[in-house]
Structure formats: C-alpha cells, structure tokens
Structure 1
Amino acid sequence: MGFYIHQRENWTHFTWDDRALALPLGKVRNLQGKLMGKMEMLGFPLRQEALLETLSLDVLKSSEIEGEFLNPEQVRSSLARKLGMDIAGLVPSDRNVDGMVEMMLDATQNNQSQLSDERLFDWHAALFPTGRSGMYSIEVATWRKGEMQVVSGALGRERIHFQAPSATLLPQEMKQFIDWFNNEQSLDPVIKAGIAHLWFLTIHPFDDGNGRIARAITDMQLSKADGSSQRFFSMSAQIRKQRNDYYEILEKTQKGTSNITVWLLWFLDCLTEALLNTDAVLEKVLSKARFWDTHQNTPLNDRQRMIINKLFDNFEGKLSSSKWAKITKCSTDTALRDIQDLVQKAILQKDSAGGRSTNYELLKN
C-alpha cells in the first residue's frame, strides 16, 4: 500500500508554489472585491434577499454533495426565521434542516469566534439530531472511536479511496488543526481556507458529516477573507457541479506528498467559478425586485402574491391550476380564476412547452 499523506512525518508542514498561485489568487481577490462593492450598492432589503438566496443554495448543495436532498422550501423558511426576515408563506422545517442551517449560520455569522472541540461537537450534534445517519446509529458530538475508510464499489470488489488516521491519534491531530486555524495569521486568508478544507478532511474526525463540516469551516474562513459575515457566493454549489473532480483531486492529494500546489490551484479555480456564478443569484433577486416595483399598484390577492413569490424562489416543477389550488388551499375554480386574472394582467402566460395539461409560467419582463 502506498503512503497516505497523513502517514508521512510532519505531514501538516504543507508546502506550495507561491508563483503558481499568484495569478489565480489575484483573480479571486479581484472578484471578491467587485462582488462586495456590488452588494454595498444594493440597499438593505435586496442584500437580505441575496443573502437568503445564497445561504439556501449553500445549505442545499453542501448536503447534496453527500447524496442528501433537503427540501428547498424548508431550508429557505428555516433560514428566514433564524435571520429574522419577515417573509410570507414560511413552512415548518425538520430538525435536520434546522441543524444544517444553524451550523452554516454559526460558521459565517460568528466567523471571528474561535474554533474549539466543543463548537465542532455542537455542529455535529446539530447535523445528526436523532443520533442516526440514515438507518445507522452513529457516535455524535465526539471524535470517532473506530477506523475510517472511504470506499466505493460492490461487496467483494470495493475500492479504498482513502484511509483516515487511526482513532487513537484524533485528539492530538485535532488539537494541532484547531490551534493552527485559530492562531495562524501570516497566510493569505483564501489560501488558509483551501488548506483548512483539505486538512480537516484528511483527519476525518467524525463518524459521519465530515464533508459538510469541512465546507462550513471553509465558509467560515472565506467570510473572514471577505471581511463580512454575509455570504453572497456559494462554494458548495460550485463543488456540487464539479463533484467528481472534487473527489478525484482529494484522493490524488491524499495519496501525494505535503506539496499541495495542485489542490490549491483546484480550490482557487472552483472559488473563481463560484464568484462568477453570483451573477445568476443576483439577477434572480433583482428581477424579483423589478417585478414588485412594476406591480406595486397592481391589485393582487394574497394567493396570487404567494404563488408569484414562489415562482421567483424555489418552485418545483410546472405550475398548473390543480397545483395552485393545493398550495393556496382553495378550490380548482378559484385557482383558475386567479390564474386567468394574472394572464389578463400579463403576469402569467401559458407554458410554451405545451403538453397534455395546461401549465403556466411567469412572463419575464
């Protein structure tokens, strides 16, 4: 068996090629500055809306990377409640959704607070409120007691991607990591985020949830790099798009040496894409704001307002009269009258895709 990075002596003495990183790091810093400038110009209500949009994406995608699909409406509602935002049509949220939201908010909004065993245990407990991961009982809010392998493939033909350090080493490995994270001041904060991500995943200190916690630590460090507790880009959403590459580069790095230039280049590239993709989130927020600006004097009932907002946010599937009736708890006749009224007001139009049943979509201004 070849060496894993953590089996090498002084494995945490990471090295990298500063010259190779200079250009991509400069690009990231430039994009961060532009984004923060853009957000400053938005004004408070729109900034809050963009924050809600970005954090929702972050929570959903970080879970999706692990194959767990949370309900978008629950995530949005949980975030809005915890951010104290007054939004119509909030739905109740499950404990595991609330837990993921609480962890992400604690990591970013309290980004100046020190990391500690206890804080990480609190995050872990929030992720697994029932003490179970799927069907399996796991050790919660404590370092794992067993050995840890990341494996894929069918029984008898498994492939070991990675073997984490022995459980007996975890207290000292985590102490070293936490001390470094809290006290290292000389590194560029973005480079530090990339190292923290890799370092934590290499230790793999928990029975489950290591990926989500690694990404929360990364977001915590990136929000320090931005000098803001508000998140307007989602690294997790970008990692989700590049999930296969993500696992591949992690595996390669775990089996390499302590020179982590290639990992940091990948991390910076992923971060660049995440920053570039904020335009889509921003456009969504701005088009919603433009719509309500245009229609501030248009007579609309509460059901119509509710559905229009849902269409701008996280509406799943197609809008039909039966779906309208179900969501707004009204009769199908009332739903049809509501819809036809919006068609006449040039707010909705029949879905151009057609099909057997009639569906509707927002008329984009």
Structure 2
Amino acid sequence: MRIAFYAPMKPPDDPVVSGDRETARLILRALAEEGHEVALASRLRSWQRTPDEARYAEILEQAKAECERLLGEPPFPDVWITYHLYHKAPDLIGPTVADGLAIPYVVLEGCRAASRATGPWAREFADADRALRRADAVAALHKEDAEGLETFLQSGRLHRLSPFVDAARFDAVAARERDGDPPALVAVAMMRPGDKEASYRLLADALARLSGRPWRLILAGDGPLRDDILALFPRDRLDWRGAVPPETVADVYAEGDIFVWPAINEAFGVALLEAQAAGLPVVAGQSGGVPDIVRTGETGLVVPEGDAVAFSDALATLIDHADLRRDYGRAAAAHIRQRHDIATARRTLAGILEAAEAGHSRRRAASGVPS
C-alpha cells in the first residue's frame, strides 16, 4: 500500500543525528521491507523547545498550507502514519489529510502527559489530543507512555511497538571477546543543553567517585556544549571520538566493555539498544522506557534516575567483576535479537496497520459512511 509518513518532531532526513531520527529511519525501512511504498509527506517541524505563541501561530499557518497541498497532490496515500506525537510536537497535518482522503490514520510513539493539559503548553496539548482521538491505531513504545494513553483512548486502539534496531549490524561486534584492562566505558550521545547535559554531569559525578578504580572513557558525540562536557572528565582517561555516524558507531561499541548512560528524562535511548546488540552490558538510569529495554540483573544494571551514588555503585560492580559483565553482555545481545530486532518490528507494524484499517472501517460504518 502507499503510506504517507510524517515526523512532526524531526524529519527522518534531518542532518542532525539523534535517536529520534534513527528510529524514524528504521520504521521507514521496516515498512519498505514489508513491501509498502512509503513517501515522506511533509518536512514541517511543529516541535518547540519552549512554548512560543507567535511561533506556534506561524506553524499553524504552515500546516494549513501543507494540508491544502497534500489534498490536491496525487497520487494519494492509502494510509497516513505519524511518528512521535506529543504536546511539544503535535500533528497539525495528518488528521486533516486523513479525513479529507478518508484513509486510516496511525500514530507510532504516541505520548500524552496529562499534566500539560493546563499551563503554557495547553494549546499544543489540545492539538495533540485531537490527533490522538482521530487515530485509528496508536502505538506506545514503552510502558510509561502506554499507561498515559490507556485511559484516554477507546478500547482496541492502543498497541505496543517495542523500540528496535537492526541487530544484524552488530553481530560481528557482539561476538568479540572483551577483556579490557582497564575496562573501557562507552557513552554515545549529543552534547547539548538540557537532559543530555544533565546525564553527562551525573556520569562525571559517578566516575569521580571511582577515581581509585581502573577505567577509561570513550565518548562519541558532539554539540554546542562539547567543551564544557569534555572538561567534566579527567583528560588522561578520556578518549573523545566526536560525532560518529550511525554507519560506523558499531566500531565504537567494539572497543568497549561497559555502556554507561544516566538517561535523565530519556524516552528509551537508541544507543542503549545498540550497545546491548553489540554485546555490551549497560549501566543506566531508570527513566521512561529504559526498564523496558534493559533487564536489570540480566543485561545490565538499572538504577534510580538522577542518583549518582547508585550509578557509581552499579558501575563499580561491573568494573570489579569481568565475568559478570561478560555474562550480561552475552545476555544483552541475545535479548535484543529476540525482542528488539527489526524483524520482530516488521511483524508488529503489519499487525498495527491491519488493526488501523479495521478500526477505520468500523468507525466509518458507525457514522453511516460506506467504507
């Protein structure tokens, strides 16, 4: 079928590397491998870091123009898919186009924080809610998001899609023996203000508590706070690789023994999936969907979010016990292949599309409109 794909937070061809962009690209690939013809419907970004009334008025006008273009521009899609919809990035295009073309409307990674219904984000939250209500199927990517949606959506419309990677890309890396002396710790993340900066600062705090233990740190990432973040870590233990393209990031994981990321306010973290696929045990903070993808005590250790002492203690355990980190690493690679691989995601996406088509037909029948 012909699928219109839209990512209001960041289009999949955006030049800036991020987990959000990589997930969008993987979804596009999975759909294409299922035989669908997928086209990027729009590159309009509705995302705002902070609420801005004037800017949002501009976005609304741009969205209106995009709707008019898409409703008059054949060939028309058979279904519309929007990826990552929430109050900071509402879908202002998909519902209008889906209604105009009388096609199913699907949301992948729908998020809803009811606390945003009032306050400075109220207007954007209401627009995101309208899109979620229109959706024939909504997929949550982790338990926390599912819990935020289940009381809002009508029965049968909420689905689960586990975050995924192409595990085969990391097969060769996962098979290598890891006997780092000292152990190599790896973190892969952008160096920007906000949650990423907070995670780097907590990591530095945790590592400062382990100055008497052997370790070295490999950092892959870049951004506006590069100098400030690199200065947090001891120069003689730091190996900074800069921004590493997705095509070669497996080479970074290949050099590591433990993946470390505090995951402050993290949705789930593509790097956490990739690192486990590469056979690395993980130490991570318990935020968002992290507990959904890291099995604490089996593929790594998950500690309370924002707790530098707990993070340091967990990391000390893996630094001190090479056998344990090797066991966790082997279990991590198997876990990703079994539950978070693109092959599994393809089957799940097929089921979501079938459910959306059925739900769309029922909704039209209930309103007295022939399917």
TM-score (norm 1): 0.33
Which structure exhibits the higher relative contact order, with contacts defined as CA atoms closer than 8 Å and separated by 6 or more residues?
A: 1
Question: TM-score, normalised on structure 2?
Answer: 0.32
Query: Max radius of gyration: which structure?
Result: 1
**Structure holding more strand per residue:** 2
More helix by share: 1
